Structure formats: structure tokens, C-alpha cells
Structure 1
Amino acid sequence: MPAPTALLRRPEEVAEVAANVPLPVEDQDDELLLDAPDAVPSEISAIQTADGDTEMAIDEEGRPRFAPAKNTDGPRRVETRKVPIPPHRLSPLKAAWPKLYPPLVEHLKLQVRMNTKNKAVELRSSKHTTDPGALQKGEDFVKAFSLGFDVEDAIALLRLDDLYIETFEVKDVKTLQGDHLSRAIGRIAGKDGKTKFAIENASRTRVVLADSKIHILGGFKNIGIAREAIVSLILGSPPGKVYGNLRTVASRMKERF
């Protein structure tokens, strides 16, 4: 059955009818937006305040261009830190306090207080503190002293940025108890501390033996050298073999530098 003639139209008639049909509201808006002339002025316009100062400038593409920020010292937030001190380090803290607080006050511009009641050293920043990392450096310095390092060695944490403290226990390497644990600690220390001093001099680190805990202060690679020597002694290696390995490592470090 042939289709009705009213439904059959030529392409020219279809295009003419489509042009006369009104568009929906949304399509009209899109067409207006697409055909709208460029409303952004070609010249750069600026918004001025009542005082006449220029706040923002708009370029040719309509993007704002802000003036460089001014270096103004705004109000700083006061932060505090509390570093707990072990009971066995309170007496050394009181004795070394005249040498402990000057680097914190004069170099880092911090406010320091020794709170004997709470057994802690309290640090606080102030308006005179210029270094944003001063509070963290001061906490690391006091914490290093609380672990058993000398004040002269702990001051290196304030002057150098690539120093770290690593702490581990003998049982982390090997489970030892009783006399076996005591002999392992004795092998690390050596007679009159000679083995510990040899490790420190060869690896350029500082080692603290606090019962079964071992604290190492130094650079990342240097800590690895000292830790390897101490682990060998804990596992039962004779000191003579460890000395030989330290000599080899020390000679390589001298050649490198």
C-alpha cells in the first residue's frame, strides 16, 4: 500500500519546515550564547578600591591578574612541645642545664622551661622565632640528650639537617636472655668501651648503650655501617673479624671523601 502523499516530502521542503519550527527555550539560550558577541573588553580593566589602590587586573582573555603578595609578618601561632625525660636522666639534665638551654634560646629563639614536677622539658615558640622548623629541631635536640647523648653531640642535630637517630633493641636482632644477653651487650661495649669507640670512630657516629637498647646518632649511611657491626657482634661474630670489616669500610670512606 503506498504511503500517503502528505507524509512524503522532498529534502528542500524538510529543511524549510525545520527552519520555520521554533526552537525550545534551552536551545534558544544555547544559540544566543554561541552567537553572542565577545563581551570581554580588549583592553585590560582594573578594579579599584575606594582608596584608589588597584586590587585586580583582567587581561584580554578575561583572566584576573593579581599583584605580587606583600611580605608582611602576620601574627604567628604560638606552639608548645613537651619532651618527657626518663627518671635516670633527670640528674644529668640538671647538671648539664647551663649548657643545654643556650642553643635553644640563642640559636633557635625558643622559650624553654625545665618542669621538674612533670619531669619534662617544655619548649614554646614566640614572635622572635624566625625558623618554622625551630620547634622540631629543639625537640630532637632535647630528645637526643634524654636518650643519653652528650650535649656536644646533640648540638649537631641543630647545625646539620641530615642527621638521624635510630633505636633498636638486642632482642630485635636475636632473642637472648640472662647471661647470653649480658655477654652480647659486653661484646658490643668491649673492654673499657674500646669496641664501642672503634665502631664510632670507623663509622663516624655516636652510639649509646642503654641496657638492652642501642641508640645510634649519625648520617643515614653511617648509621647503616654502625648497625651492621653491632648486629654482627650480637649474632656472635668475634670482635677481631668485626674490626677487620670496620677497617675496610673506614678505608673506603676515606677514599670516597
Structure 2
Amino acid sequence: MPAPTALLRQPEELGEAASAPLPNNDQDDELILDAPEAIPSESTAMQVTGDADTEMHIDEEGRPRFAPAKNNDGVMRIESRKVPIPPHRMTPLKASWPKIYPPLVEHLKLQVRMNIKNKAVELRTSKHTTDTGALQKGEDFVKAFSLGFDVDDAIALLRLDDLYIETFEIKDVKTLNGEHMGRAIGRIAGKDGKTKFAIENASRTRVVLADSKIHILGGFKNIHIAREAIVSLILGSPPGKVYGNLRTVASRMKERF
């Protein structure tokens, strides 16, 4: 049976490529050996760049050891914050300004100015700022003073890391109107502020009564103790019962410390 014409014409269509001799085994070996030198692989390229930047050592357990990171002195980016000041706190701000800006400038290395026109305190980092959280600490400090805390109490926010400010309103606890609101504020403050001072001393916090808003400065657990006492007074508990609970809590806190 004759072969198909397509099979007979195939060598002619291939031309010289079909008739070219195959390479020897020696040529194959040369090509295989020369390939890595001609085209570097990704692993070798990465190794070269890695050796150029940092030298990596491996310990006895096979874990890599890297050189310590370089110290980054100063803040890389200059940032700014603006803290608005309520109108009724502008006069105390002007009077206490000589005590406010030294901690910000000397301790936190910030640039600060009081903008009387916009009624705000503007903070900005500089090349001398070393702490990355200095701007946030400075903002918290100025904000605490704007809420009504004393300068000496607000400075504690700069020196300690576990202090917070919690704000809530009397209406968040119980809806009161008219004279009922005034009586609730009177129960919290007490005669000549005795109740408020007792809460502060027992819970080791600072409390500010600003109309119907209440600001508490202190640690997380201390804020919880002061808030529970104030909520009890808002709901109508007699001050004597609240004093007894505060004495119990204060004695437990002394035992812990």
C-alpha cells in the first residue's frame, strides 16, 4: 500500500532544519554548564543584593541573625495639631500659659503657640522631636486643660502612660430636667464640694463638673470606681451609702498596693 503524499512531502517542507545534524553530548554538557553563568537566576541576584546591604549569619539552630536596626533619631515627618479652646477657658489659658508651654517645649520637644484669633492651641513637631507619640501626648495635655482640669493634674498625662479621660453626661444615666438636674449636680458636688473631693480621694482620680457634663481623669480601674459612685448619686442614692461603698473600695485598693 503506497504511503500518503503528505508523509512523503514532509521532509521537503522542513528544508534544512530537518537535515541539520543533532548536537553532540559534549555540546549539551557545555550548554548546561554555561547556562547559570550566562543568565543569573533570581536566587543568586537576591543573594548579591542582600550581601551588599546587610550580611546575614546563621546560628547553630539554623536561625538567621540580623544586624541591629539603625537608630532613627528625630521624627521623619513634620505633623501639626490644632486643639480648640472653649471661650470660657481662654482667660485661664492666658493666665496659666507660663506653666503650660514649658512641658510641651522642653519635655516633648514640640513647637507650640496660642492662636488668640482662632481660639486654639497649635502644636507641631520639629527636627528636635524624638518621641513619636509626643504630638498625641501634647494634644491630650492641652485638651485636658481645656476641659477644666488644673495644669498640675493635666501634666500627669505627659509623665504617665496609663491615664485616660472619660466624659459622660447626666442624661446618659438618667433623663432629668429642670430642678431635678440641679439636685443631681448638687448631690455629686456636695456641700462645698465635699462629696466630689471624697470621690476623688477614694478613687485616686480627678473629677470636673462642667454643667451637665462630667469629666474623670485617672487610670482605667480608678475611673470605673469614680463613675460607679457618681452614677449612684445621679440615680438617687443617699450620700451616706455612697461614702460607705467608697470606704470599702478604698480599703481594698490599699490592700492591693
TM-score by length of 1: 0.76
Corresponding position of 1:9: none
Distance 1:104 1:120 in 2: 15
Distance 1:231 1:82 in 2: 33
Distance 2:184 2:204 in 1: 22
AA paired with 1:101?
Y
Paired residue secondary structure (1:47): helix
Distance 2:144 2:168 in 1: 15
Is 1:221 matched up with 2:230?
Answer: no
Is 1:158 matched up with 2:155?
Answer: no
Is 1:94 matched up with 2:91?
Answer: no
Corresponding position of 1:76: 76
Preserved contact between residue 74 and residue 130 of structure 2 (Cα < 8 Å): no
Distance 2:74 2:109 in 1: 18
Paired residue secondary structure (2:208): strand
Compute the displacement of 1:175 (Å). Answer: 0.2
Paired residue secondary structure (1:236): coil
Corresponding position of 1:106: 106
Corresponding position of 1:15: none
Corresponding position of 2:48: 47
Deviations, residues 9-34 of structure 1 (Å, cap 9, x unaligned): xxxxxxxxxxxxxxxxxxxxxxxxxx
Distance 1:240 1:56 in 2: 69
Compute the displacement of 1:71 (Å). Answer: 3.5
Compared CA separation, residues 75 and 253, structure 1 to 2 (3 A): closer
**Percentage of matched positions with identical amino acids:** 83
Corresponding position of 1:30: none
Compute the displacement of 1:56 (Å). Answer: 6.3
Compute the displacement of 1:172 (Å). Answer: 0.3
Corresponding position of 2:116: 116
Compute the displacement of 1:77 (Å). Answer: 1.1
Is 1:125 matched up with 2:125?
Answer: yes
TM-score by length of 2: 0.76
Preserved contact between residue 173 and residue 231 of structure 1 (Cα < 8 Å): yes
Paired residue secondary structure (1:244): helix
Deviations, residues 120-158 of structure 1 (Å, cap 9, x unaligned): 000000000000000000000000000000000000000
AA paired with 1:235?
L
Preserved contact between residue 74 and residue 128 of structure 2 (Cα < 8 Å): no
AA paired with 1:239?
P
Unaligned stretches of 5+ residues in structure 1: 1-35, 60-64
Paired residue secondary structure (1:92): helix
AA paired with 2:53?
E
Distance 2:74 2:106 in 1: 23
Paired residue secondary structure (2:48): strand
Q: How does 1:1-257 map to 2 (within 5 A)?
A: 47=48, 54-55=52-53, 69-71=69-71, 73=73, 76-257=76-257
Paired residue secondary structure (2:149): coil
Compute the displacement of 1:47 (Å). Answer: 3.5
Unaligned stretches of 5+ residues in structure 2: 1-31, 58-64
Paired residue secondary structure (1:155): helix
Paired residue secondary structure (2:165): strand
The structure that is helix-richer by fraction is 2
AA paired with 2:210?
A
Give the paired residue count. Answer: 213
Preserved contact between residue 170 and residue 213 of structure 2 (Cα < 8 Å): yes
Preserved contact between residue 81 and residue 124 of structure 1 (Cα < 8 Å): yes
Compute the displacement of 1:57 (Å). Answer: 6.6
Distance 2:251 2:69 in 1: 53
